[in-house]
Structure 1
Amino acid sequence: MDKFTTITGVAAPLKIMNVDTDMIIPKQYLKTIARTGLGKGLFAEMRYNEDGGENKDFVLNKPGYRHAQILVAEDNFGCGSSREHAPWALLDFGIRCVISTSFADIFFNNCFKNGILPIRVSPEDLAKLMDDADRGSNATITIDLENQEIRGPDGGTVKFDVDAFRKHCLMEGLDDIGLTMVKSKAIDTYEAKAANERPWL
């Protein structure tokens, strides 16, 4: 997966509590196991009208937010069923970071495994970041993973916590397969030794 170091860009404000995984990626998009192409289904029931046209009132359809890489969301983001398609859809759309006061555990873990940084902040800090996000293209936010801080357009800084191992994996672009491949030489050595010592296997 792509490395995550620092991202600077417009943040989209999603002022909805309890956004569940069915809202993030509705069930009709779950027929594929491919990680690409799901961006079109992200928040589909809110992004599109019944006739298939765009809902101009939805935040990601507004000109200033169409290419947002950061999402500022209300409490309990990613609740509901444990579908990994939810972070796949966010990533395919271009979202690399989601900021909220709380996340559902499975969604939270799936984000790290797919190159998305979920950041927990206090309600007070969320209110400030939501205000920044409301300003659209007139304000940009920087997510600095190495220093574990969010820098606002007016110079304000919000510190955040992140597990050291997960931070390492994001910064190095290592998913579960990547972590295994780091040990590929040791694995090859073991396999060669095992084949030599037990040729009947």
Structure 2
Amino acid sequence: MKQTNLEMTHNHLKSIVMAIAMIICIQNANAQFANSFGKQKSGKQHPVRVYFMAYDMQYPGIAIGPEYDFLYATHQKIQCNKGTRYTDKHLYFVPQFGIVKTDVQSVAAFVNIELDFKTIYQSGFIVDLFASAGYAQIFENQPADLGASSFENSLFASHGAFFPQFGIGTGYDFRREFNTPIQVNFRVLSASVDMKEFIKPGLNLGITYNL
């Protein structure tokens, strides 16, 4: 049954309020983590990531967020034939926000919380496993009806969706060999705003910089 403009407006405002509430929660969490509760186990390092996304292997997107390792971090020292080798392991808590094109006619603005278990070897080689849950507000660019602007149609056609992501990645930490506070990461993941297609392949290419 077709929704009236009033019903669509109500649903749209409800979704906007949910998105704003989640953003406020993330900002409050960031404030808490910046204080005693979120003290970095790795000291004064404050990594911030910028990840570019290929949603469904073809549509572009971007996500930005800080990395906090207050949950778990360890520095392991291993003796082997080649001498002493060091391995770092971190469980990062990552609040992120971003925007991604989900198909030919739709764009989604999203916020999520990611848990990223990252292992950094002596050589600088990185292996990470990650999963996240989030909320996406999807704006559909539908053909304009008579007497209505395309902006209004896009506004009315917007809706909220659950946006989970999970996958595995690799990368390189330049601090190991070059003392440069930069990591590059490449990740293969599943990310979908449609629960009927929960497994939808995608790619991440990103940079993490320690402030």
Could you state the TM-score of these two structures normalised by the residue count of structure 2? 0.26
Q: Which has the larger radius of gyration?
A: 2
Choose between structure 1 and 2: higher strand proportion.
Answer: 2
Q: Which has the higher contact order (CA 8 A, sep 6+)?
A: 1
Could you state the TM-score of these two structures normalised by the residue count of structure 1? 0.27
